[in-house]
Amino acid sequence: MRLRSFKALSFGCYGTLIDREFGIYAALRPLLLAGRITLDRQDVLRAFTRHEVAQQAATPTMLYSAVLTEAHRSLAKEWGVLLSDDSHVLFGKSVTQWPVFADSPAALQYLKRFFKLFVLSNVDKANFAGTARRLEVPFDGVFTAEEIGSYKPDRRNFDYLLKKLDKLGIRKDQVLHVAADRARDQVPATRCGLAFAWIDRPREANGSASTAAPSESAGGELRFASIVDMVKAHREELLA
């Protein structure tokens, strides 16, 4: 499968273009300090993700900022840490502080020259707007959980993406979904018949602990260690 055979790239943004786990762990530090929590980073991220996934499943139409707020509240309760409501709300507003992976802006600018670029994200419109400014590229479309009314890995999110792209004259076989999260992106994308590129960043770069393990095998058709490596592969195809 060649990158040049696609017309559009759809991205799972957080964890792929944005260092979601660094951002979450940094935003959790006040909770960790208040509770004198000594778990290692990966265990902290796993614990948080349990609450985040449960909240998304229970309240699929809740805005992502509120999901984060309630997941933070639930985690504090689990650990027996008493915090003010403002502390939970502050954590819920942390998305725009999560850092961009260093390779993302330049790589996106390159890819924009050859592909239509879309985002399929579990965040809300306001949070993505804060993120988009730092990615430094105009996307051709952004589809969020807020407008869809469900969170990935719900298949509805991918069906929504494909319907929107079809209206733009882009067929499913012309779309490559690019993401780091195997459970939230790879499994449902594969079920929908979408080609998939797994951005498998080194563990020390994005920490895979907060990415829920997939419930089924989902071998990615393409695999890159970073967005830069994806760009390199495309350049090699042009020179071949």
Mean pLDDT of 116-123: 97
Distance, in Å, from the CA atom of 56 to the CA atom of 123, rounded to the nearest integer, reads 11
Owner of token pair 């502050």: 90
Q: 10 Å Cβ neighbour count for 60?
A: 15
Structure tokens at 80: 């027996």
Question: Rounded to whole angstroms, what are the CA distances from 201 to 90, 149, 176, 216?
Answer: 29, 29, 18, 21
21-97 is classed in which CATH architecture? Orthogonal Bundle (1.10)
What pTM did the predictor assign? 0.90
Mean pLDDT of 87-107: 96
Percent of the chain residues past pLDDT 90, beyond the cut: 90
- The strand order across the sheet containing 8-11 reads 141-144, 116-121, 8-11, 175-179, 195-199, 222-224
How confident is the model at residue 221, as a pLDDT?
79
Mean pLDDT of 211-228: 67
Give me the torsion for CA of 32, 64, 201, 23, rounded to 10°: -40
The residues of the chain that CATH labels 1.10.150.750 are 21-97
> Per-residue b/e over 135-165, b at no fewer than 16 CB within 10 Å?
bebebbbbbbbbebebbbbbeebbebbbebb
How confident is the model at residue 208, as a pLDDT?
46
Mean pLDDT of the chain: 92
Q: What is the DSSP letter of 136?
A: T
How confident is the model at residue 112, as a pLDDT?
97
Mean pLDDT of 197-215: 62
CB 81 within 8 A of CB 74: no
Mean pLDDT of 211-215: 48
How confident is the model at residue 240, as a pLDDT?
82
The top-level CATH class assigned to 3-19+98-239 is alpha beta
Confidence of residue 177 (pLDDT cuts 50, 70, 90): very high
Q: What angle, 0 to 180 degrees and rounded to 10, lies between the N-to-C axes of helices 104-112 and 125-135?
A: 90
Mean pLDDT of 86-100: 96
Distance, in Å, from the CA atom of 144 to the CA atom of 72, rounded to the nearest integer, reads 21
Q: What is the DSSP letter of 14?
A: B
Mean pLDDT of 46-61: 97
Confidence of residue 203 (pLDDT cuts 50, 70, 90): low
Judged by average pLDDT, the poorest of 69-78, 205-214, 227-236 is 205-214
Mean pLDDT of 115-137: 95
Distance, in Å, from the CA atom of 152 to the CA atom of 121, rounded to the nearest integer, reads 8
Mean pLDDT of 127-134: 93
The residues of the chain that CATH labels 3.40.50.1000 are 3-19+98-239
For the chain, helix, strand, coil in percent to 5 are 55, 10, 30
Question: Rounded to whole angstroms, what are the CA distances from 85 to 69, 72, 161?
Answer: 9, 10, 35
Mean pLDDT of 181-200: 94
